[in-house]
Chains A and B, each alone.
Chain A
Amino acid sequence: DTEVTQTPKHLVMGMTNKKSLKCEQHMGHRAMYWYKQKAKKPPELMFVYSYEKLSINESVPSRFSPECPNSSLLNLHLHALQPEDSALYLCASSQGDGKNEKLFFGSGTQLSVL
């Protein structure tokens, strides 16, 4: 199994809503990532969890709250988002041991904030 599964595939939310994005992998990877990708742009790193601990936060606004309940799951909790937060949110994982790391991506959640 070399898949990273993200749900939902599409999400529309208002600026006062609270929603969550979910990501799951069963490759035994110990590093998991959230990336944000705007149209026609490269992915931008948001958060990295390494061995279930938050290791990198790229100065992301607090309206985005990551959570790593266990080594296979990664969530991104969304609250009071702005229309400019509309983007494709990509989850990725990697082995996490620092040896020849490479990213495996999910298919993303297309988020629209109204």
Chain B
Amino acid sequence: AQSVTQPDIHITVSEGASLELRCNYSYGATPYLFWYVQSPGQGLQLLLKYFSGDTLVQGIKGFEAEFKRSQSSFNLRKPSVHWSDAAEYFCAVGGVYNFNKFYFGSGTKLNVKP
């Protein structure tokens, strides 16, 4: 079965500092990989996605993520965090055998200190 793990429940960074959120997946083949962001009481917004090709993908709001097959990881990065980035971040895996099934990690809550 597919699974996705986000080992950090909470992360606090200072505004202007760099950010890395970790995501590991368990799947036999190369899955589709996603990062979503959610503000309280809101829906999920797609930040970026990886389907194939270049392993460094750029997303919206200055975020990027790198797919590392050898580590089964898809970590999200941002060089300089803004206070508006405070939110919940979910990593997700898209099914290859069932393209309608998406599996979400448990989420990482990002707090930004002034």
Contacts and interface: CB of A to CB of B under 8 A. Distances in A.
B100 A55 contact: yes
B101 A56 contact: yes
A105 B106 contact: no
B49 to A, nearest CB: 5
9 contacts: A41-B107, A42-B90, A48-B100, A56-B101, A100-B49, A102-B32, A102-B46, A107-B43, A108-B42
Nearest to A98: B99
A69 B1 CA distance: 32
Contacts, number: 62
A13 B43 CA distance: 21
Interface of B: 32, 34, 36, 41-46, 49, 51, 90, 92, 94, 98-102, 104-107, 109
A41 B100 contact: no
A104 B94 contact: no
A7 interface: no
Nearest to A31: B100
Interface in A75-94: 88, 90, 92, 94
Given A42-B90, A42-B106, A110-B41, A104 B100 contact: no
Contacts of A100: 32, 49, 51
